[in-house]
Amino acid sequence: MKATRLGKGRSRSRKSIKSIAIMTGGGDCPGLNAVIRAVAKTAINKYGLEVWGIEDGFLGLIEDRMHVLCYNEVSNILTVGGTILGSSNTANPSAYKIRVGKKVKTMDVSDKCIKVLKDHNIDALICIGGDGTMTSTARFAKKGVTVMGVPKTIDNDIYGTDITFGFNTAVNTATEAIDKVHTTASSHHRVMIVEVMGRYAGWIALHSGVASGSDVIILPEIPYRIEKICEFVLGRSKRGKRFSIIVVAEGAKQKGGKMFIAKKLAYSPDPIRLGGFANVLAEQINQRTGLDCRAIVLGHIQRGGTPTPFDRALATGFGYTAIELLMKGVRGHLVVMKDGRLSSIALSRVAGRIKTVPKNHHLIKAALAVGTSFGV
Ligand code: F6P
């Protein structure tokens, strides 16, 4: 299929788009169904396209598990958490791991995936996913597949977009949990440490920490010093504030130290799983200060439940824009929200990168100004 360059990300292929497929890759996230609904309804209502749903992310593409989505299937799902298509974060088409006897063999099955799409006469693929999914999607674009990415993750760490859908819901959930912990902290004069997700980025910790008025916020981007945290909580005790709330990102680390790895999953493209670091921190603080400390690891609760109105609206805008851009001839791009406007950037610019919290972020400055410690 020969393509003519038209300008930024645009190409007018000789073959017009009549049929698309949608897949959701990586961890589940509030708002996935809202994107599926927006993509499918826009494609059907506005352009009369045939819409396929690929089951369980790239795994379903590799195993040729997909079906045509009927209108009813994408109705009444706007407020529903998770994904009606299923997802998987263990299948990377360019490095697909299969067990051969006792050994794990890595194979590139990208061409097999492309054949599956061709066999079903699918003209374009919409991948809804995080940084790992976008890196794989970029590889398909390089191989000539017509693709469009939609940025999903509670971590808010996808490069090129100011915000991802799912993040707002996760921040709401985390903030609500931290608010509730205040009761026990103040009644029992304890140091309560709440660990939030976010992998190598501290977006959830920063936003939920500021929103809940937490006393200490520990981010992966600002390695902490244990003595500074202890000084801070002891100082509060001396001033009559006999409790402290600490929000810690799962990817946090001590200055000169390493991240706390919970486990490594051999079959996953990104095998490292974080989680549980709050327990280590609680022990460190208790041993140095003698204060009663408790750790709460919020975990997957942050990915569950119904998306907030903000995420429903954002996801709907993203899904609609994905179809509009494809129909305008844009190829191999990621739909993004930049400076309050929906647009797109080339997947090649996104692949292999993440967006972390800059040290001069306005919320860090604001938190410092109201007396919050970042443990440094
Ligand atoms: O990327 C989303 C996320 O929830 C991260 O915040 C977390 O580190 C990871 O996924 C957990 O992955 P899994 O669901 O495989 O345990």
Q: Is 205 in the pocket of ligand 1 (CB under 6 A)?
A: no
Q: What is the pLDDT of residue 99?
A: 82
Query: Which of 273, 284, 225, 224 lies closest to 250 in space, CA to CA?
Result: 273
Q: Which residues pair with 104 in a beta bridge?
A: 99
Contact 36, 319 (CB under 8 A): yes
Q: Is 31 in the pocket of ligand 1 (CB under 6 A)?
A: no
**263 exposure class (CB count in 10 Å sphere: 0-12, 13-18, 19+):** exposed
CA 358 – CA 233 distance, rounded (Å) = 25
Q: What is the pLDDT of residue 14?
A: 45
Q: One-letter amino acid identity for 266?
A: A
Q: What is the pLDDT of residues 233-277, one digit of tens each?
A: 999 999 999 999 999 999 999 999 999 999 998 888 888 999 999
Q: Which residue has the tokens 């660990």?
A: 195
Position 286 pLDDT exceeds 60: yes
Position 1 pLDDT exceeds 60: no
How many A from CA of 357 to the centre of ligand 1?
18
CA 363 – CA 55 distance, rounded (Å) = 39
With pLDDT > 90 as the criterion, what percentage of the chain qualifies?
91
How many A from CA of 44 to the centre of ligand 1?
33
The 10 Å Cβ neighbour count of residue 27 is 22
CA 113 – CA 95 distance, rounded (Å) = 13
Ligand 1: which atom is nearest the Cα of residue 197? Answer: 6
Alpha carbon of residue 23 to chain centroid: 15
Q: What is the pLDDT of residues 105-119, one digit of tens each?
A: 899 999 999 999 999
Q: What is the pLDDT of residue 46?
A: 98
Q: What is the pLDDT of residues 118-148, one digit of tens each?
A: 999 999 999 999 999 999 999 999 999 999 9
Cβ contacts of 126 within 8 Å, gap of 6 or more = 20, 21, 22, 23, 39, 147, 148, 149, 150, 322, 323, 326
What confidence tier does 9 reach under pLDDT thresholds 50, 70, 90? Answer: low
For residues 125 and 13, which has the higher predicted lDDT (pLDDT)?
A: 125
Position 329 pLDDT exceeds 50: yes
Q: What is the pLDDT of residue 10?
A: 60
How many A from CA of 27 to the centre of ligand 1?
6
CA 31 – CA 156 distance, rounded (Å) = 13
Helix axis angle, 226-238 to 277-289, nearest 10°: 60
Of 158, 197, 265, 277, the residue with max ligand 1 atoms within 8 A of its CB, to mutate for a pocket test, comes to: 197
With pLDDT > 70 as the criterion, what percentage of the chain qualifies?
96
CA 167 – CA 157 distance, rounded (Å) = 9
Contact 252, 277 (CB under 8 A): yes
Ligand 1: which atom is nearest the Cα of residue 154? Answer: 2
